[in-house]
Structure 1
Amino acid sequence: MRTPDGAELRVHLRGPADAPVTVALAHDWALTSDIWRPILAPLVADPDRPVRVVRFDQRGHGGSTLGTRPFSAAVLGDDLLRVLADCAPHGPVVLGGHSMGGRAVMALAAARPAFVGARVAGVLLAATAAGRLDPADPGLPPLRRAAGALRRAAARGLARAPGAVDRLRALLPPHSGAYRAAVRRAAFGSRADPVLVRECAELLHSTPTRVAVGFYEPLVRHDLSGRLGALRAVPVRILAGGRDRLVPLRHTRALARALPQAAVAVLPDCGHMLPLEAPEAVGAHLAALVEEAATAA
């Protein structure tokens, strides 16, 4: 589907168009909608409770093009709304967002509270944060602030010559041991399946540098924690990995304070890649939200 600024979003549909509940899934930064594949079968397994599942590659990722709008959390929320308008124009929807996908859900809620109140029957927020992830914020230890400043400076430097960076990245392919080891340490918990680490490494490696660094600043600097009022009237489940190095548990606790009615679950051995590391748990929470939505409908 095409957006007004010219981005083309690749959308995957599964399940009948007239299903009583639609599940829409938004993926993480520098990945694709493929990370949701492990949870699809359980969601659509019950023929007596049909579900339509909509997942899409966020702009610039996977099979989606970038368009002309500036990088921002708002554009992610707008894209999610457009996908819902096109693929699920009627009936209750359950939204699932992993990390940056969670930001897309929260940006939609901040910008369109009336839509959330009228259509959204449940929300799953996995390994995500509403507040700023930037460790350069005042009040943090000096070493963490310095590390945050260095990461921001590095991202801005990479953004000046993304084509050259892509050529350098090609010298360290995703199947190399060093690349996989780095991905495993940064994104996975203590019991990472090597096959899933390899899949994640390939997805990360395929994301253009321009896209990765472009969305970095909005993700670490933007704060939505004061604009989530629409989600307080919706069943929300928050999932976190106990070994998540990218979105540590302090951000989960802050999100839970912003959404005090939400149910919170921590998967102690998991890292950041919850849809890959714990598809049964993620699928079970989504299925429970679908059941609540269908019963309410």
Structure 2
Amino acid sequence: MRPWVKAAGVTGGVVGAAATGLVLGAAAQNARIARQRRDADDPHEDEPLGQLRPSRECTVAADDGVPIACEEVDPEDGGAPELTVVLVHGFVLDRRCWHFQRRDLAKMVDPRVRLVLYDQRSHGRSGRATAESSTIEQLGRDLAAVLRALVPDGPLVLVGHSMGGMTIMALAEQEPELFVERVRGVALIGTSAGDVGASGLPRPLLSRHNPATRGLGLLANWQPGLVEWARKAGGQLTWSAIRGLAFGDRAVSPKLVDLMDTMIDGTSLAAITDFVRTLGSHNRYAALAGLRHCKVLVLSGDADRLTPFRHAEAIAAELPDAELVRAEGAGHMVMLEQADLVTGHLVELVRSCADGETSGRRWWKRA
């Protein structure tokens, strides 16, 4: 998305024609939407997107010392929580992407929940990691560190979007006993258990074998200031590309695209290229077996161009008791784009977990 577009103007042949063509095509397709930004009525005009105040903020040290920025949100009515919901964001995002779920889950009273959110390493306010430690395996260990520090006991529901879902899978692979003893529910949103490079994203954006990806990584290490300058020069073209790649076919509030634009802007190009290898090699179908003791929700948009709906179907096929939800017309950022739908299913999941349910008959829903 954004980093490749903005670097393309400076690096010339470094960025492959396939990646550039995809982004330019998405920009052209959405030029009309971009031109209407100033005039459109925005349903979220007065919504303080990404500005909600937490009950507490803290920093947790990962096992390799990288500081992980975290926040906690207590039940809005001041009552005692019955379980903790942990929200794990995806690639090039940060914890602000959960704005609507964070806002509404805190209002629950049946049951009351405590929320824990954090920024993945090299994202948001968390510390910059090395290229060697920018792996999904390490993200799983980071999640374990957050749980040890902030939720050392009590029942859990883990919610992951995109790379955040992969993080939860890595934790299930590393600590399967946690999912037997404490994790009552898991929600996997817009994510994949493997073969990401064969999904909606072309291999030029994810494959470690692609010279464009390698070239951008080398350039980012050699002249990071130049790449960052080019990255910030794309403006409207980039906004249109984000709208086209990350959201679905229905009308979308420009403020939601603005929020994603801001989150991407806060992630350095070097950090982005560091994660390319681990995303392209991610394969955790075997780890899904660790979720069989939990109530599992698998939700994805059928207009997701980054992790198409077939990835959700593949995960659900490995988990016959999972609830599979298809969000019609929604793209990759389904929790922003169709916030009420996503939050509603999370509320159902949390309530079933609070009732002591861990698994049940399989569901398939078209939203």
Shift of 1:172: 4.6
**Number of the residue aligned with 2:361:** none
Equivalent residue number for residue 181 of structure 2: 118
Match of 2:300?
240
Matched to 1:159, the amino acid is G
Q: Which one of the candidate residues 211, 216, 220 is aligned to 1:162?
A: 220
1:78 aligned counterpart, secondary structure: helix
What displacement does 1:202 show? Answer: 1.4
Secondary structure at 1:105 match in 2 = helix
**Superposition TM-score, scaled by structure 2 size:** 0.74
Q: Alignment partner for residue 55 of structure 1, among 117, 132, 144?
A: 117
Q: Which residue of 1 aligns with 2:289?
A: 229
Query: Is 1:131 aligned to residue 194 of structure 2?
Result: yes
- The unaligned stretches of length 5 or more in structure 2 are 1-59, 358-367
| Offset, 1:72 | 1.4
Equivalent residue for 2:41? none
Seen in structure 2, the aligned counterparts of structure 1 residues 277 and 7 have a Cα distance that, compared at 3 Å, is: same
TM value normalised by structure 1: 0.90
Count of residues paired in the alignment = 290
Is contact 2:302-2:309 (8 Å) kept? yes
Q: Which of 159-168 and 247-256 deviates more?
A: 159-168
Stretch moving more, 49-58 or 279-288: 279-288
Task: Give the CA deviation at 1:227.
Answer: 2.1
Matched residue, 1:188: 247
* 151 and 277 in structure 1: CA distance in 2 versus 1, 3 angstrom threshold: farther
Residue identity in the other structure for 1:43? L
Post-superposition offset of 1:149: 5.5
1:28–1:101 CA contact under 8 A, matched in 2: yes
Residues 174 and 198, structure 1, Cα contact 8 Å, conserved in 2: no
Q: Distance in 1 between matches of 2:336 and 2:205?
A: 28
State the match for 1:3 in structure 2.
62
Deviation at 1:41, TM superposition (A): 2.3
AA partner of residue 112 (structure 1):
E
Instruction: State yes or no: 1:107 paired with 2:170.
Output: yes
Moved more, 167-176 or 75-84: 167-176
The structure number with the bigger radius of gyration is 2
Of stretches 268-277 and 42-51 in structure 1, the one that deviates more from structure 2 is 42-51
What corresponds to 1:15 in structure 2? 74
Task: Specify the SS of the correspondent of 1:218.
Answer: helix
Greater CA deviation, 47-56 or 11-20? 11-20
Aligned residue in 1 for 2:232? 173
Moved more, 25-34 or 271-280: 271-280
Indicate if the aligned counterparts of 1:58 and 1:76 stay in contact, CA closer than 8 A. yes
- Specify the SS of the correspondent of 1:10: strand
Q: Distance in 2 between matches of 1:235 and 1:203?
A: 31
Among 74, 93, 106, the alignment partner of 1:44 is 106
Q: Select 1:71's aligned residue among 134, 145, 157.
A: 134
Residue 131 of structure 1, CA deviation = 1.1
Q: CA deviation at 1:49?
A: 2.9
Equivalent pair of 2:165/2:191 in contact (CA under 8 Å): yes
Aligned residue for 2:4? Answer: none
- The Cα of 1:48 is off from its aligned counterpart by 5.4
1:97 to 133, 136, 160: 160
Is residue 2:94 matched to residue 1:32?
yes
Aligned partner of residue 79 in structure 1, secondary structure:
helix
Give the conservation status (yes or no) of the 8 Å contact 1:23–1:53.
yes
Match of 1:82 in 2: 145
Give the root-mean-square deviation of aligned CA atoms: 2.3
Residue identity in the other structure for 2:116: V
Mean Cα displacement is larger for which, 48-57 or 38-47?
38-47
Tell me, in whole angstroms, the C-alpha distance in 1 between the residues paired with 2:336 and 2:204.
Answer: 32
Deviation at 1:44, TM superposition (A): 1.5
1:77 and 1:148 mapped to 2: Cα distance? 20
Q: Which piece of structure 1 moves more, 56-65 or 221-230? A: 221-230
* Amino acid paired to 1:157: G
Q: Structure 2 CA distance, aligned partners of 1:215 and 1:185?
A: 22
The corresponding residue for 1:153 is 211
